[in-house]
Amino acid sequence: MRRRGWWLAALLGLQGLAAAQPAAPGPGQVLLIDPQRSRLEFQVRTRLGQRLEGVFPVFEGVREVLADGRHQVRLRVSTAAAELPGRARATAWMRGEHFFDSSRHPWLEFQSEPYWPQELARGGALRGRLGLRGITREEELQVQPAACARSGLDCAVQVGGTLQRSRYGMDDWQLAVGEEVQLRMEVWLKDNAAP
C-alpha cells in the first residue's frame, strides 16, 4: 500500500511539474506580435548624407506554428501612420505619392516563408514576400541570434533589412533621397494570445 501511494504521489508530482512548464508550441498555435512593446523603424539617407529616421507606430502581425512544426510570420504595417518625428513636412512627403503613396496603398505587408525555429534562433535570413505600393517582391530580412531560449517572449527578436526604393516604384526624388530604405525591428510576442 505504501509503495502504491509513492507511485501515485510521484505521478501527480510529475503531472504538476508538466503543467507548470510552458507547453512547446504546437501546430496551429498563433502568437500575436505585441504592438505596445515592439518597435519598427526605418531610415533613408539624403544625397547630402543626412539621415531621415522614421517609425511605423501602427502594425499588426502573428507568428504561427504550421502542421509540420515550422513557423511562419505575417506582418501588416500602416504606411499611412508612418512618421518622421519632428518633421511634419517630410512626413507628409513620405506618405505622399512619391514615396509610400499611403492614400492608395495604406499597408506594407510581409509574409515569411516557413522556417524551422531552431535554425533561426542561431540567426540568419528570414525570406518572404513583401508587398508595398501594390508591388510584391521576394525579400530577405536578417534575424540576429536569439538572446534567450524563448525569443520574442523573454527577449526581443532583432530583425533588420534593406529595401531598394526603385523595386517598389519609389523612383522619384532620386537626386535628393538615396535608393536604400533601412528597416530595423525589435519584435515582442504576446505570451497569452489566442488563435
Identity of residue 169: G
Which residue from 165, 167, 169, 168 is spatially nearest to 179, judged by alpha carbons? 165
In angstroms, the CA 57 to CA 77 distance is 8
In angstroms, the CA 53 to CA 180 distance is 13
Which residue from 142, 151, 159 is spatially nearest to 121, judged by alpha carbons? 151
Three-class DSSP category at 56:
coil
Which residues partner with 167 through β-bridges?
none
Specify the pLDDT at position 1.
45
Specify the pLDDT at position 7.
31
Which residues partner with 39 through β-bridges?
186
Specify the pLDDT at position 36.
94
- The CATH code of the domain at 25-187 is 2.40.128.110
Which residue from 121, 110, 178 is spatially nearest to 150, judged by alpha carbons? 121
pTM above 0.75, yes or no: yes
Specify the pLDDT at position 28.
76
In angstroms, the CA 161 to CA 151 distance is 19
What pLDDT tens digit does each residue of the chain (195 aa) get?
444 433 333 333 333 333 333 345 566 789 999 999 999 999 988 767 788 899 999 999 999 999 999 999 999 999 999 999 999 998 998 899 988 999 999 999 999 999 999 888 899 999 999 999 999 999 999 999 999 999 999 999 999 999 999 999 987 766 567 889 999 999 999 976 444
